[in-house]
A and B are shown apart, each in its own frame.
Chain A
Amino acid sequence: MASAGNTAATDVAGVAYSDFGHVLAQRERRFATLLLAPAFLALLATTTFPLLFLIYTSAYRMDLSMPFLNGFVGLENYKVLLSDDRFWHSLVVSLVYTISTVILQVIVGLALALFVMNMKRGQGWFRVIAILPVVLSPAVVGMIWRTFMLAPEFGIIDYLAISAGLGSKNWLGDPFLAMVSVVVIHTWQWTPFAFMVLLASLASLPEDIYEAARIDRASAWQRFRRITLPLLRPAIVMVIIMRTMVALTAFAAIFTVTGGGPGTATEILNLYAYRKSFTELSIGYGSALAVALLIVTVIISAILFAIRRGK
């Protein structure tokens, strides 16, 4: 953008004013530069500059607790990272968390959308209630679940478990249950998103195809499998892409509910990078973890976009 502005400026000197259209185009370019520059600079400062600085700090040992050891270490942080069990564990947790929440959101969201689409009355209730979870702060959602839903011998879910004869469970203290809990909480908050997008997409499908299918006596399953699903595919893929990106960098809900624990049971890579940098104050290594997260994000989105383009 900045370079476009510069070339426009140098062009001015060499151009005769005979070409009125050309001058107009030039003015338009300069005006565009003027309008874009502030936002562009702000984005450079708040996204691109941090990225470059992050790559720089990832080549340093930078411990705020032991500053006397700080210094340039080259690729040492990345070498450590590759043999760091906690890193690989957090990567696995990230993938499990992302894949399970995205699949659950799409399946439940799609089922709900199909269900609500066929409702004759009461659609409005679903539409209003679906808005609530998605506008809430994940931190507040996490807090509500951690306390009023899951706290042992207090939360409603624990109450239901006791009533059902399962006994009180330490929902957030048991590694497996904690993982299930954070997956359920994320799914609870974001399924309405999938639901709303898919419902909007369903509502825009052409009626007449279904008419034709009904005349041909296609069963409900056939209609779903052969008509609805293919037509919804772009919307479903979009939901998958967006939700994957969010799940990979989920933070607030896990942070408030388990803090990554017990131990590292729910510590996704994002949270590990945070803990390393701001709890253990090891900024250099934390930066390397953040770069690793960026690389994972880019690889996964490249795969997803390839899927979206293919077929």
Chain B
Amino acid sequence: MKRLRTILLLAITVVFLLAWAFPIVWSVLNSLKTDKDALAYPPKLLFEPTLDAYRDVLFGSGSILPNLLSSMIISLGTTIVTMVLAIPAAYALARLRFRGKKFTGFYVLATQMLPPVGIIIPYYIVLRNIGWIDTYQGIILIYLSFSLPFAIWLLVSYFEDIPYEMEEAAYLDGASRLRTLWRIIIPQVRGGIAVTVVFVFLNAWNEFLFAVVLSGNTVRPVTIAMFNFVSVEQTLWAKLAAVSVLAMLPVVILGIVAQKHIVKGLTVGAVKGGGRR
């Protein structure tokens, strides 16, 4: 009886682990096949692995290297601009006393309620008029609409953890507020800033709706470019798998690096009230 229970539990475990890991593992396996092996029926679990698909998508004609670069520019650009704006704002919200503080905090949360499609329609009109469609500045600017509230709230939670004595000691020494923030406070929240950077980058890398509307020949992130490999007539299975794996790789690495902070990163702001995409 006890034996049966153990076997049953083990079976449930394996089924669930498989259900969640399989689609990802299967993509990785397919990316290591030749197109012929990928198309084989019944599906082949055992095959001779090859890196041909990666070589083709990276260095063949229609290489996705420019698209990976495009994703990288968008994500890094968004991260830098977001952090420059969010760090001071989060500090003010977490530590300083001023009128309208509650309202400001609420406003930052409330901006996340807006459906992205409601932001992109007007933005598209404006960017079209000033010729910013298919430009990095256009896409990075609109990415602030989701990355900034997220980063501010995540950082607030880290700033709130620093003891007040640190600042007071610095003021008594005659240091200016700005200097104190830069020299004393920011080094204290290095860890929190690193976590925020990871999540802002990740969200920017994964964004899709804005990218679909605003991308063109110059700005073409890998999530958009992967559509080149599927068409009604013919899907290039191994290559598509390779592109998917390349698109997944950076975020999977970041996710595993930030493993301990994932729950916090995913639920930020929720404690105080809002919801995040």
**Residues of A bordering B, CB below 8 Å:** 1, 3-4, 7-8, 25, 27-29, 31-36, 38-40, 42-43, 45-51, 53-54, 57, 62, 112, 115, 119, 122, 125-141, 143-149, 151, 153-154, 156, 159, 188, 192-193, 196-197, 200, 238, 241-242, 244-246, 248-249, 251-252, 255-256, 270, 273-274, 277-278, 283, 286-287, 290-291, 293-294, 297-298, 301, 305
Please report the C-alpha to C-alpha distance between residue A198 and residue B97 in the assembled complex, in whole angstroms. 35
A149: chain B residues at CB < 8 Å are 23, 26
B152: chain A residues at CB < 8 Å are 39
Contact B223 A139 (CB under 8 A): yes
Contact B206 A238 (CB under 8 A): no
Partner of B23 from the list A7, A51, A145 (CB cut-off 8 Å) is: A145
A38: chain B residues at CB < 8 Å are 84-85, 88-89
A54-B104 contact in complex given A35-B91, A140-B226, C-beta closer than 8 Å: no
B158: chain A residues at CB < 8 Å are none
Please report the C-alpha to C-alpha distance between residue A141 and residue B88 in the assembled complex, in whole angstroms. 35
Interface size class of B (residues with CB under 8 A): 35 or more
A58's closest neighbor in chain B, by CB?
A: B121
**Residues of B bordering A, CB below 8 Å:** 12-13, 16-17, 19-24, 26-27, 30, 39, 41-43, 84-86, 88-89, 91-93, 96-101, 103-104, 107-108, 111, 113-119, 121-126, 141-142, 144-145, 148-149, 152, 177-178, 181, 202, 205-209, 212-213, 223, 226-227, 230, 235, 237, 240-241, 244, 247-248, 251-252, 254-256, 259, 262-263, 266-267, 270-271, 273, 275-277
A144-B107 contact in complex given A38-B88, A153-B41, A283-B121, C-beta closer than 8 Å: no
Contact A135 B251 (CB under 8 A): yes
Taking chain A's interface residues, is the majority helix, strand, or loop, or is none over half, making it mixed?
Answer: helix
Please report the C-alpha to C-alpha distance between residue A144 and residue B230 in the assembled complex, in whole angstroms. 11
A48: chain B residues at CB < 8 Å are 111
A238-B270 contact in complex given A43-B108, A47-B119, A132-B255, C-beta closer than 8 Å: yes
Smallest CB-CB A-B distances: 6 pairs: A245-B275, A135-B255, A39-B89, A252-B208, A137-B206, A53-B122
A28: chain B residues at CB < 8 Å are 96-98, 177
A47-B145 contact in complex given A139-B208, A140-B223, A270-B115, C-beta closer than 8 Å: yes
Please report the C-alpha to C-alpha distance between residue A130 and residue B17 in the assembled complex, in whole angstroms. 9
Q: Which of B42, B121, B256, B262 lies at the interface centre, i.e. has the most chain A CB atoms within 10 A of its CB?
A: B121
Q: Which of B43, B85, B114, B115 lies at the interface centre, i.e. has the most chain A CB atoms within 10 A of its CB?
A: B115
Please report the C-alpha to C-alpha distance between residue A231 and residue B241 in the assembled complex, in whole angstroms. 43
A39: chain B residues at CB < 8 Å are 85-86, 88-89, 148, 152
